[in-house]
Amino acid sequence: MAGQLIVGLDVSSRARAEDIVTALGDSVSFYKIGYQCFYGADGFNLGKALIAAGKQVFFDLKLLDIDNTVEKGVAAFAETGAAMLTVHAYPKNMAAAAKGAAGSGLTVLGVTVLTSMDDQDVKDAGYERDAAGLVALRAQQAREAGIGGIVASPQEAEMVRTIVGPKLAIVTPGIRPAGAARGDQKRVMGPAEALAAGASHLVVARPIVEAADPAAAARAILAEMDGKRTSFA
């Protein structure tokens, strides 16, 4: 169960990130490093240190560029031993990323529609589909591109699972345990419900890293997840 919970180290200090990792101990084995930590807390070297210590690391950097740049960039991240890396879920971008990750243990994830967006936000961005429709399109394109999975809200997990099949990863932010504030998230779900819907991994940041006792918060989420383990490996 611990391997399905990914804790987002959304902090600006490496010392703070390391304190969180120490506090969580063996209860958590998987960490996400996004923009805040990557640029503000020496996140690249922190990630490599976590990998060396036997942890799994998810670099959430949402790469998007010309095909050659994306392919080479993904290949460079693959060499670190990272477990996951995000790219924007455009077809050519995902195909280039798949080439860069080929032969490695890196799972490339296509980011579909951010969990902070709803149907109106998607419309304002110029799409003629609602959020679920755009996620469905990107999921199909991700499968065709040959990448390892997608990032989507838990509310679309069941639909996405029918599109991508049982093997691809479905990584879901927007996880809010009982009593947690939504913050700027719009398409959210509880931990057990998200796993039951088809998610393979749950990303949780603020409800853990901003808690007075991060370890207790993580244990509570793991307890909610218990018994809902998926078949993705």
Question: Could you tell me if residue 231 is inside a domain?
Answer: no
Question: Could you tell me if residue 185 is inside a domain?
Answer: yes
Q: Which domain holds residue 59?
A: 2-225
86 annotated to bind ligand:
no
Q: What pTM was estimated for this model as a whole? A: 0.91
Structure tokens at 114: 């951010």
Question: Could you tell me if residue 12 is inside a domain?
Answer: yes
**CB 57: neighbour CB atoms within 10 A?**
24
The catalytic site residues sit at 60, 62, 65
Question: Could you tell me if residue 153 is inside a domain?
Answer: yes
Q: How many domains does the chain have?
A: 1
Q: What is the pLDDT of residue 233?
A: 43
Question: Could you tell me if residue 232 is inside a domain?
Answer: no
Give the orientation angle of helix 67-78 with respect to helix 91-101, to 10 degrees: 40
User: What are the residue ranges of helices labelled H in 42-130?
Assistant: 43-52, 67-78, 91-101, 119-124
Domain with residue 34: its CATH number is: 3.20.20.70
Question: Could you tell me if residue 233 is inside a domain?
Answer: no
**CA–CA distance, 49 with 53 (Å, rounded to integer):** 6
206 annotated to bind ligand:
yes
Q: What is the pLDDT of residue 197?
A: 92
19 annotated to bind ligand:
no
- Per residue of the chain (233 residues), what is the pLDDT tens digit? 457 999 999 999 999 999 999 999 999 999 999 999 999 999 999 999 999 999 999 999 999 999 999 999 999 999 999 999 999 999 999 999 999 999 999 999 999 988 888 899 999 999 999 999 999 999 999 999 999 999 998 889 999 999 999 999 999 998 877 655 555 555 668 899 999 999 999 999 989 999 999 999 999 999 989 855 554 44
221-233 b/e (C-beta count within 10 Å ≥ 16 → b):
bbebbeebebebe
